[in-house]
Amino acid sequence: MSSDESLYAGKSEPLRLRKDTKVTVLSGAGISAESGIPTFRGEDGLWQDENLVKIATPRGFLADPERGWRFYNERRSNMAACDPNPAHKAIAALERAGYDVVVITQNIDRLHQRAGSARVLELHGTVWSIKCSNSRCTSEPFENHDVPLKIDPPVCEICGAYLRPNVVFFEEMLDPEVVAEADRRTKQSDIFLVVGTSGVVYPAAGFAQIARAFGAYLVELNIETTPLSYICDKTILGPCGQMLPELVSDLTGGEVRI
């Protein structure tokens, strides 16, 4: 990023991070799309197929679990073949350098963790965790990275109900503990980066508004403007994989580069 594009927060000097600056990243499908993972919304998004939307509800999934798992097995196969891109890596590098970074993500692919980010709040869960569909069952969600699953469709060893991806379906509430932690961190943020998110999915999009209300400096990175652009202090248009590493380098005075 050239010097005339450096971030300013009403100061005469470029904005620079300190190690105790609380940096929070809200990431959406756009950052993972640059790794080759299809988005769920947008003109070519997966949710343009109404039949797929139907199986992404608790009732729809259980009505045809074999079909539901075929869909999620395809997603798992696609995600397993994709690698973190420079945007994921820049965020992780910032954390590894000792900066106070927390990621709040809408993505279910774990690319942030694969890049090296340790502090990640998954609002919508992840396809790499599986749980029982019976809410009264005492079994706990568990990690599973088989591609494809060895049992299709899998059933719970405790109650015999079908297992399902540990993701948030349509018509379901987000995990209240994850939301509460994301809300707490958002209110503490000094810098809030809005990366590759459409700004239309709530409650995720609401965190940017909360951060603004609590005095954070908001920077948006996206290939186009969004409904959140008007509340951001700066919007940087372009591929996240290109712009975010440049931003991180700029914010750290060149200390963190990938």
Residues of the chain with CATH 3.30.1600.10: 38-81+125-167
Name the fold adopted by 38-81+125-167.
Answer: SIR2/SIRT2 'Small Domain' (3.30.1600)
- Per CATH, the architecture of 1-36+84-124+174-258 is what? 3-Layer(aba) Sandwich (3.40)
Judged by average pLDDT, the poorest of 66-70, 82-86, 212-216, 247-251 is 66-70
pLDDT (mean) for 150-167: 91
Per-residue pLDDT at 165: 95
Q: How many residues does the chain have?
A: 258
Give the Cα separation of 237 and 246 in Å (integer). 12
Active site residue 124: yes
pLDDT by residue (tens digit) across 166-209? Answer: 999 988 999 999 999 999 999 999 999 999 998 888 888 899 99
Per-residue pLDDT at 50: 52
Give the Cα separation of 97 and 48 in Å (integer). 40
Percent of the chain exceeding pLDDT 70 equals: 89
Residues of the chain with CATH 3.40.50.1220: 1-36+84-124+174-258
Does the pLDDT at position 35 exceed 80?
yes
Please tell me which residue in 88, 112, 124, 145 is annotated as part of the active site: 124
Give the Cα separation of 225 and 198 in Å (integer). 9
φ, ψ at 122 (rounded to 5°): -95, 100
Does the pLDDT at position 48 exceed 80?
no
* Residues 30, 199 contacting (CB under 8 angstroms): no
pLDDT by residue (tens digit) across 100-152? Answer: 999 999 999 999 999 999 999 999 999 999 999 999 999 999 999 999 888 77
Angle at which helix 86-96 crosses helix 240-251, to 10 degrees, equals 20
Closest CA to 134 of 151, 158, 108: 158
Per-residue pLDDT at 12: 46
